[in-house]
Amino acid sequence: DGGITQSPKYLFRKEGQNVTLSCEQNLNHDAMYWYRQDPGQGLRLIYYSQIVNDFQKGDIAEGYSVSREKKESFPLTVTSAQKNPTAFYLCASSKGSNGYTFGSGTRLTVV
């Protein structure tokens, strides 16, 4: 079955450490997105990519970085510059005028 896979499900980060969240899709979708979810704040867009080797900043890109070397993959790195990284991170993909297909999320906690 086609889908979008995020890993790991839970991730713990020490102060000053960079961590990378994985997002892989086999839906042949062109566009991919990263969102951050905090309680009571809905979904906030971090980065998005419409084609391979191209991506744009969303609303809260500071402290994050991405790459899009393959159509199937859109990893997100949470850098040490992100001062409040504890959150639930959601990856999504889309094609054409359809809505998004979401992954099951990664919960990142600073320890």
66 in contact with other proteins (CB under 8 A): no
Among 7, 30, 28, 18, CA closest to 91: 7
2 in contact with other proteins (CB under 8 A): no
Rounded to whole angstroms, how far apart are CA atoms 30 and 110?
Answer: 32
102 in contact with other proteins (CB under 8 A): yes
| Number of amino acids touching other proteins (CB under 8 A) | 25
Among 73, 70, 109, CA closest to 91: 73
Residues that bind other proteins (CB under 8 A): 6, 31, 33, 40-43, 45, 48, 50, 56, 88, 90, 92, 94, 97-105, 107
